[in-house]
Structure 1
């Protein structure tokens, strides 16, 4: 009976050791997950920092593109004005000739 009791105590001790090891393993896994989350947070902060550093550059680039678009629009309007100045007298001459042809 005493032997059985000692055997049960040893089994209980082994079980407690196993549980202790499992608990340590679980704590290590939780620590690893925490470190991974911290790393992910640091990477996110790094991305945010890079974005904030690049934001003025992106705004300057956007302003340059808008300026180029405005310049292109201005050139287009000037070209249209030139086209109207060139072809308006020609159109008037054609209209006068057509009026003479059909009215006489």
Structure 2
């Protein structure tokens, strides 16, 4: 029993370090995911702008040539 407790006490810092590293890795992954999401939102915003400009050009040409 004492040997088991001693082993547990010796392994506890290693376990805590492993958990900290895992948490750090998860936070890094979340950061990368958010960065990609922001990039995607910027691209969608530009795409929407292009669609609106194309629609405006279409309306202008329609009224100009009719």
Tell me which interval the TM-score lies in, with the shorter structure as reference length: 0.7 to 0.9
Match of 1:8 among 9, 15, 20: 15
Please state how far the C-alpha of 1:58 moved relative to its aligned partner. Answer: 2.4
2:49 is matched with which residue?
Answer: 42
Please state how far the C-alpha of 1:3 moved relative to its aligned partner. Answer: 3.0
1:56 and 1:41 map into 2 onto residues whose CA distance is 23
- RMSD over equivalenced CA pairs, Å: 1.1
Query: TM-score, normalising length from structure 1?
Result: 0.53
2:65 and 2:29 map into 1 onto residues whose CA distance is 52
Query: TM-score, normalising length from structure 2?
Result: 0.80
The size of the alignment, in residue pairs, is 59
Divergent runs of 4+, >2 A? none
Please state how far the C-alpha of 1:9 moved relative to its aligned partner. Answer: 0.5
Match of 2:39 among 32, 41, 54: 32
What are structure 1's unaligned runs of at least 5 residues?
60-104
1:18 and 1:30 map into 2 onto residues whose CA distance is 18
